[in-house]
Amino acid sequence: MTEPAADLVVHGGRVILPGGEAERTIVIRDGRFSALLPAGAPLPPAERTIDARGRVVLPGMIDGHVHFREPGFPGKEDIASGSTAAVAGGVTTVLEMPNTIPPTDSVVHAREKIARIGGRARCDIGLFAVVLDGNVGEIRPLAEAGLVVGFKVFLAPTTGDLPTPTDATIRAAMHEIRRLGMRLGVHAEDGALIAEETARLQAAGRSDPLAHLESRPAEAEARAIDRIAALALETGCPLHLYHLSSAPGLDALRRWRARGAEITAEVGAQHCFLDAAEMPRIGARMRVNPPVRIAAEGHQEALLDALVAGEIGMIASDHSPHAPEEKLHAEIWRSVSGYAGVETTLRLFLTHAVATGRMGYPALARAIAEAPARTWGLWPRKGAIAVGADADLTIVDPERPGRIEEAALHGRTNVTPFAGRATRGMAVAAVLRGAVVMEEGEPVGDPTGRFIGPVPR
């Protein structure tokens, strides 16, 4: 019997390639794209064929900002449950944040986290390491062992209570990261200003939902960007801004780029499609750091415009799940910040950016695949439908109606301020290294996700 020429063939869809949209038949063999045939070419024999007529075929989505909470917070999420939610939302690769217990701050702790991935993850997973006072000496060993795709520094309080390092530590870390050809990401909020504002509001007896927003003003984001970007310019270290949330933060990004700093940035659905004016009604479900802002002030429009224009390069969820008993408090200071997002992000951008005509599919593909792959050292293995790359696909039905319901999501804890939101468009299949891992919104097969490090230079 003749051996099939392919493991999987995908045909009939609108395929989004690095150069734009085209009609192609995708041929996959041994976990990689082996050929892209012109429309109308005879289909090669394959173990499986997917008819993608009426679908849009995107490169596998990379979510460059998730908190899967393992180790340390198993009641919130773990690698198994988080990766299940990821593939259910069309995500084939995630990059996991370091504020676990213990934190990802050393070769030992990175290897311990990696050991948890095999046989449990449904998507591929890369890691960030944290920069702290006292661990600068770990940066080079972590990088040279291929254990992390980048590094992160927190300038404000976060889950895991990681302290903000001194400028001297950040400067030393930046010099080392630059020499390694890598990048430092930053949670850019000014911790001192937040502490002052929180104390003032609590002293005034404020505990309503909007007190959280007022405790973390846009000035806190812009001030933190000024602090970290000045160090980046001084050291020549490439910088990435996580979850940009405000027009003043965007203005700060533009100022420092104009001065010569190399800075990339991401934005999430929460800061593009939620309005803090609704927070008194929605309540603590909307509490997140940095906070959702008032839409009438222009933040959301500015961020979405910058994303469409490519000034903000990528979309990321900041998936930060918590149990309902931790989140849902009338007194906002008792609620923790963050909520589930890895499963809903693509649906929300399909609904509010693509279906509305604000964003085309080529721009979406750059933001969810190419840009994170290039930024975090995964290119050209990940991020594009190209011969030789990992055969990761996210197949979208652009007209599929839906509604976000917490009970239907696949994570361990699924509190979201988007509950009840009607959507248009969703991922209906996901392919990881040539294997179908999701169909019609449901994960299929055994977990085959792997740890991934950066592509060797």
Question: From CA 266, how far away is CA 247, in angstroms rounded?
Answer: 14
- CATH fold of 61-375 reads TIM Barrel (3.20.20)
Whole-prediction pTM value?
0.97
At 243, list the tokens: 């979850």
Check residue 383 and report its DSSP letter.
Answer: S
Question: From CA 170, how far away is CA 32, in angstroms rounded?
Answer: 39
User: Residue 318, Cβ neighbours under 10 Å: how many?
Assistant: 27
b/e map 408-433, b = 16+ CB within 10 Å: ebbbbbbbbbbbebebbbbbbbbbbb
- pLDDT tens digits, the chain, 457 residues: what are they? 456 789 999 999 999 999 999 999 999 999 999 999 998 899 999 999 999 999 999 999 999 999 999 999 989 999 999 999 999 999 999 999 999 999 999 999 999 999 999 999 999 999 999 999 999 999 999 999 999 999 999 998 777 678 899 999 999 999 999 999 999 999 999 999 999 999 999 999 999 999 999 999 999 999 999 999 999 999 999 999 999 999 999 999 999 999 999 999 999 999 999 999 999 999 999 999 999 999 999 999 999 999 999 999 999 999 999 999 999 999 999 999 999 999 999 999 999 999 999 999 999 999 999 999 999 999 999 999 999 999 999 999 999 999 999 999 999 999 999 999 999 999 999 999 999 999 999 999 999 999 999 998 7
β-partners of residue 127 are 96
Determine the angle formed by the axes of helices 191-203 and 218-235, rounding to 10 degrees: 160
Domain range list for the chain: 61-375
- φ and ψ at 322, to 5 degrees? -140, 155
Per-position DSSP letters for 326-373, written without gaps between them? HH--SSGGGSPS----TTTHHHHHIIIIITTTSS-HHHHHIIIIIHHH
Rg (alpha carbons) of the chain, rounded to whole number = 21
Q: Are 353 and 281 in contact (CB under 8 A)?
A: no
Give the E-state strand segments of 274-322 in sequence order.
Answer: 314-315
Q: Which of 346, 437, 420, 442 is nearest to 58 (CA)?
A: 346
